[in-house]
Amino acid sequence: MVYCTAADVRLIVSTSLTDTEISGIIEMSDAEIDRRIGVQSASDKLVKKLSMLLAAHAIKTRQPESQAVGEWKEAHNPLEVWEREMERIYRLHGGVSVEASEYRHIDEDTRYPGEALDASE
């Protein structure tokens, strides 16, 4: 399942790669998404963003001077920012659930019968 298009990726990163080459990178990025958090809805905007970021990250690591947003271009390396955003999205979609447990008093005398401490010792 494809979560974004080459045109979507070009919104984040400027590259000389063809749309076909970008589509290949998107397929690998989307396979990573499916593997890490399971198959997602193609209409989920957050998953689309994650797919775009993963593909742009793969392109950027191969072409470090290729970052643009619309007509605005910058020279610094945004990889760390993208990595933090990707990890945040993975955490949001992660399957980890935490449930509260009931806390009870443990009576040491019943827990360890025969080993009750003698106050005189």
For residue range 39-82, what is the model confidence (pLDDT) as tens digits? Answer: 999 999 999 999 999 999 889 887 655 455 666 565 556 777 77
Instruction: Show Cβ contacts of residue 84 under 8 Å, excluding neighbours closer than 6 positions.
Output: none
| Residue 42 placed within a domain | yes
d(CA 28, CA 31): 5
Count: domains in the chain:
1
| Residue 114 placed within a domain | no
How far separated are the first and last CA of the chain, in Å rounded?
Answer: 70
Share of the chain above pLDDT 90, in %: 38
| Residue 37 placed within a domain | yes
| Residue 73 placed within a domain | yes
d(CA 40, CA 48): 10
pLDDT at position 100: 47
Expressed as residue numbers, the domain containing 81 is 6-93
| Residue 115 placed within a domain | no
CA atoms within 13 A on the CB side of 62: 13
Can you give the pTM of this predicted structure? 0.59
| Residue 78 placed within a domain | yes
